[in-house]
Amino acid sequence: MALSNLSKDHTNNLLLALNENNILANQIITEKKGQHATIAKLEILYRQMEFLKSEINRVMDEGAITSLLNKAKIKCMKCPGTTYHLFQKKSKNDKIINETEMYYLSKLHPRELGDLTKDNYLGSFLLKDDFTWIQVLDY
């Protein structure tokens, strides 16, 4: 099954299984005292499992950011290789803003906009050639 076909439940179950394995690994290590080769192998596997867990979390975070950036409003066509700046509209008079209108992208950096915007600047993102996003450092 491709990762893109995983449902939220499957992903949650995968993360829960990794956490259960964490507890199991600690129990096995305490039971295997004195078996240095076994413990060394288990430690390597444990590190690999922790790495996979962090990679899963990183991919999930990237997916959330990509989803937000793809839903954000923009008044021009998105071009790969271009840096866009994400803003969140401030609510006016406690008016609830529709989620699809809450975020927008601009080609102009907040310093370039100056006082033209009072919205919250959330970060700058580069649209890569494969239409995925990476966050870039503020310049």
Q: Give 10-residue mean pLDDT values along the chain (139 residues).
A: 54 64 60 72 88 92 89 90 90 64 87 80 91 84
pLDDT for res 14: 64
* 3-class SS of residue 90: coil
Domain-wise residue ranges, the chain = 3-70, 75-136
- Name which CATH class applies to 3-70: mainly alpha
How many Å apart are CA 120 and CA 19, to the nearest integer? 36
pLDDT value of residue 117: 75
Residues 97 and 88 sit within 8 Å (Cβ to Cβ): no
Place of tokens 């413990």: 39
The whole-number pLDDT of residue 54 equals 93
Burial 41-52 (b: 16+ CB within 10 A, else e): ebeeebeeeeee
